[in-house]
Amino acid sequence: MRKLYSFVAGVVAIILILFCFAFYLQKSSSSGSQSDKLVIYNWGDYIDPELLTKFTKETGIEVQYETFDSNEAMYTKIKQGGTTYDIAVPSDYMIDKMIKENLLVELDKSQISGLDNIGDEFLGLSFDPKNDYSIPYFWGTVGIVYNTTMVKQAPEHWKDLWREEYRNDIMLVDGAREIMGLGLNTLGYSLNTKNYERLEEVEQKLNSLTPNIKAIVGDEMKGYMIQGDAAIGVTFSGEASEMLSSNEDLRYVVPSEGSNLWFDNLVIPKTVKHKKEAYAFISFIMEPKNAAQNAEYIGYATPNKAAKALLPDDIKNDKAFYPSEKTIANLEVYDNLGEKWLGIYNDLYLQFKMYRK
């Protein structure tokens, strides 16, 4: 009997040891992967890597940089809550959605330096009226990039894309709000319309554009346009900036009748584990020299007026990327349409993509 007791005691001891060992591995794995670093969740290639190195060197804070490819993917990951992120970079309409769903930390602005570097025109916008939850990071437009050697007449307006001479020459960025917005602007409607008949009219208008569409693509548009594989592309201003820097024959225009004015902002998700370090990073990225370096690397427009002053003249005076007040007056920020209407936009866009096949 004593042997039996000894045997049972030995088994129990082994089970306890294995349990403790497994618990230790799980704890060390989860803490080792994230808890000892500032975790930034950002779009791909959306910060100068040298700045991350500089931040660690100056503060001793190590950074874990993770990326997403859409606002929706970022939102889903943060809402699920299984992964801790200290900083994220959502766009305007998604910020509004995340605020309403209590997914963001209300900012303690006393812990952020450099707020006065942000231009007044980039503060107090509809998606965060008091900037209680977000700090401007980059802004830009949706417009038309074209190759001067491949078009007889340069496109200046959205309606120009329907010219017969552009047959099989146009690439579109793969985005429902952007391409539905192209149609809405062409017909003189708001980018945030909730009129179903108008949206159906837009789909029909886009269907008539299909003979001119070469492809609907993502990031690969940059390579195609730089190599001269297409004459025209509808894309974001920052993407266009990279194209122009690699091909001197390319130009970018924002149609004066209207387009999208978008903003990407820094936020602190409710999943934050390193709030003090997150504030330190936000302050670091708003220092004029750092913000200017970042803007030159990324190619998008900076909302940091002190940083803009440090940029080369050919960048800060380029009206294609820093449009005039007159052009900006005709631009619209995407509203958070809500699940119902966002679904309608997506469905009509998918129908358009299926139509062209």
Per CATH, the number for 140-261+329-355 is 3.40.190.10
Stated pTM of the model = 0.80
Q: Is 159 helix (H, G, I), strand (E, B) or coil?
A: helix
Mean pLDDT of 80-99: 94
pLDDT tens digits, one per residue of 273-286 = 999 999 999 999 99
- Pick the closest to residue 239 from 153, 138, 149 (CA basis): 138
Sorting pLDDT into bands at 50, 70 and 90, what band is 15? Answer: low
Decide: helix, strand or coil at residue 144.
Answer: strand
Cα separations (Å) of 124 from 31, 99, 305? 37, 15, 16
116 burial level (CB within 10 Å; 0-12, 13-18, 19+): exposed
Opening angle at CA 176, ends 174 and 181, nearest 5: 110
Q: 180 burial class (0-12, 13-18, 19+ CB within 10 angstroms)?
A: buried
**Model confidence pLDDT, tens digit, residues 214-263:** 999 988 999 999 999 999 999 999 889 889 999 999 999 999 899 999 99
Q: Which residues contact 311 (CB under 8 A, 6 or more apart)?
A: 292, 295, 296, 302
**Spatial CB neighbours of 106, under 8 Å, sequence gap ≥ 6:** 132, 133
Report how far residue 240's alpha carbon sits from residue 283's, in angstroms, rounded to the nearest whole number: 28
Work out the pLDDT band at 357, boundaries 50, 70, 90: low
Would strands 87-88 and 38-43 be described as parallel, antiparallel, or unpaired?
parallel
Lowest model confidence (mean pLDDT) among 8-22, 66-80, 222-236, 304-318: 8-22
Q: List the domain boundaries for the chain.
A: 1-31, 34-139+264-323, 140-261+329-355
If one counts every other C-beta atom within 10 angstroms of the C-beta of residue 37, the result is 18
Options 3.30.70.260, 3.30.565.10, 3.20.20.70, 3.40.190.10; CATH of 34-139+264-323: 3.40.190.10
Give Cβ neighbours of residue 301 (< 8 Å, ≥ 6 apart).
138, 139, 140, 237, 238, 295, 321, 322
10 pLDDT band, cuts 50/70/90, is: low
Average pLDDT over residues 33-39: 72
- Chain Cα centroid distance, residue 37: 23
User: In angstroms, what CA-CA distances link 348 with 115, 303, 323, 352?
Assistant: 40, 33, 31, 6
Q: 156-160, long-range: CB within 8 Å, 24+ apart, which pairs?
A: 156/253, 156/255, 156/256, 157/255, 157/256, 157/257, 158/182, 158/185, 158/186, 158/255, 158/257, 159/186
Q: How far apart, in whole angstroms, are the C-alpha atoms of residue 280 and residue 268?
A: 12
Mean pLDDT is lowest, of 15-29, 163-177, 179-193, 321-335, for 15-29
Region of 131 (left: φ > 0; alpha: ψ -120 to 50; beta: rest) is left
* Helix/strand/coil for 198: helix
Give the pLDDT confidence of 123-140 residue by residue, as tens digits: 999 999 999 999 999 999
Whether residue 34 is predicted with pLDDT greater than 50 in this model: the reply is no
